[in-house]
Amino acid sequence: MSTECWSEDFIQLNGKHITLTTDIDDLANNADLIAAFDAAVGQWESFWQLPSGSLQDFKVDACVMADKQRFQLDGRIPLSVPDFPFGFALQDRVWVVAQKSQYYTRHLLLHEGVHSLAYHQFGGTGPSWFMEGTAEMLAVHRHFGSDTKINQLPKDRASVPYWGRFKVMDQSRDANTIPSLGSVLGYPRDLQSDVESYGWSWAATMLLYQYPDTRDAFFASAKTPAPNDAVFNNDLKRRLQNTWPVVTARWRLMCHDIDYGFDWSREQVSLSMNDQVWDGKPLKLDIKANQGWQSIGVRLSPGMKLSVTPAGNCTLADQPKPWLSYPSGITLRYHRGRPLGQLLACLLPDTPDQDQATKTNLRPLQVAAITRPSQIPIKENCWLLFRINDVTGELSDNQGGYQLTIDSASK
């Protein structure tokens, strides 16, 4: 970082990839922003799989503003820039309104920087869901200054003060207004800084990035300029071809569970359109307590009726002593209204009917407790999945699981 200087009442600081102009006289926080931005650029380069050195000349002119009006009066925000409550990016210029937490100010600076990078490297950002989703994904971070690590799903609320995405996503889940993937892809150009739309856009880009079988399509879409949003979305679906029904099914599951601590390494679901339709022969399965939703591996058709018999036990924590649970769960503690350790079943449609429309909410996931031998009638083409109920982000200390025997009840 170069030496600090005052310019017409503003402080200016230089990093490798950023010139920071600010009215905030806080040496430590300003140094943090510069170091965090410079640290992020190298990580963005490798995230986007760019040849080393591609971002050598990438540098943004950033204003971080406690008093936005001062910057306007000083002519530092062009009149062509629309009014914005949080931040804005225009080619290599970005503006960020200082927030109540240093985390959130840093986050917004990185977020706008990702937009700048998209203009710089790819010649465009894609539709609003992709533009805001990737910017959120590559802005959400842990640590600060030169230790900043991007693309980190927050472990808890305290680590990302005022960011607030999960709070509104949770409210939407409670109100059964989670958007279908189709409606996220159809978001208007101007999201009007709506925090919830940013949250679901982030979730959609994470979903495509996190699964190996959709990641190439995600990168190809980012790097291929499209003349308009419809072409971008159609190209993405074409790249994913037969996987699209699986993507929408994964979307339903992810939206049901995503929250602080959501662990992608445990929450990836094994679903394929190549899964055979069940032949009615008995199945024996282990449902692991340290994993998210687990498919029985076959698809089911209307008219089938399954008998499911659970057995076994698992432990859900080991402090202060192991919490032993059976399929009915432990009523000492609840998650989403159900006892921890309870065996849950979910029927997941394998046809993305609702997602064809662009303005619909997701049908709530059908989840039922299986605490004793039970029968499950099948009314539509679907997968059947199980998981052991636990708080999101607390799967890693679980051990063991339940054994399931599945047989046809219509014999």
Helix (H) or strand (E) holding 274: none
- 129-137, 307-315, 320-328, 391-399 -> range binding Zn ion (CB under 5 A): 129-137
Q: How far is the CB of 340 from Zn ion (least distance, A)?
A: 38
d(Cα 12, Cα 30) in Å, to the nearest integer? 10
Residue closer to Zn ion, measured from CB, 15 or 126: 126
Residue closer to Zn ion, measured from CB, 62 or 306: 62
- 13-21, 126-134, 263-271, 298-306 -> range binding Zn ion (CB under 5 A): 126-134
d(Cα 58, Cα 37) in Å, to the nearest integer? 11
Binding map of Zn ion across residues 73-112, x = CB under 5 A, - = no contact: ----------------------------------------
Quote the tokens at residue 145.
């200054």
Coil vs helix vs strand at 314: strand
- Which residues, numbered 134-153, are part of the site for Zn ion (CB under 5 A)? 135
Q: How far is the CB of 317 from Zn ion (least distance, A)?
A: 39
Q: How far is the CB of 64 from Zn ion (least distance, A)?
A: 15
Q: How far is the CB of 128 from Zn ion (least distance, A)?
A: 8
Residue closer to Zn ion, measured from CB, 135 or 300: 135
d(Cα 219, Cα 157) in Å, to the nearest integer? 30
DSSP state of 356: G
Residue closer to Zn ion, measured from CB, 48 or 293: 48
Residue in the block written with tokens 């760019």: 50
Output the CA–CA distances (angstroms, integers) from residue 264 to 14, 32, 134, 231, 261, in the order listed: 37, 29, 17, 29, 9
Output the CA–CA distances (angstroms, integers) from residue 6 to 43, 96, 166, in the order listed: 31, 19, 39
Residue in the block written with tokens 């429309």: 357
Q: How far is the CB of 120 from Zn ion (least distance, A)?
A: 15
Residue closer to Zn ion, measured from CB, 193 or 371: 193
Site residues (vs Zn ion, CB under 5 A) = 132, 135
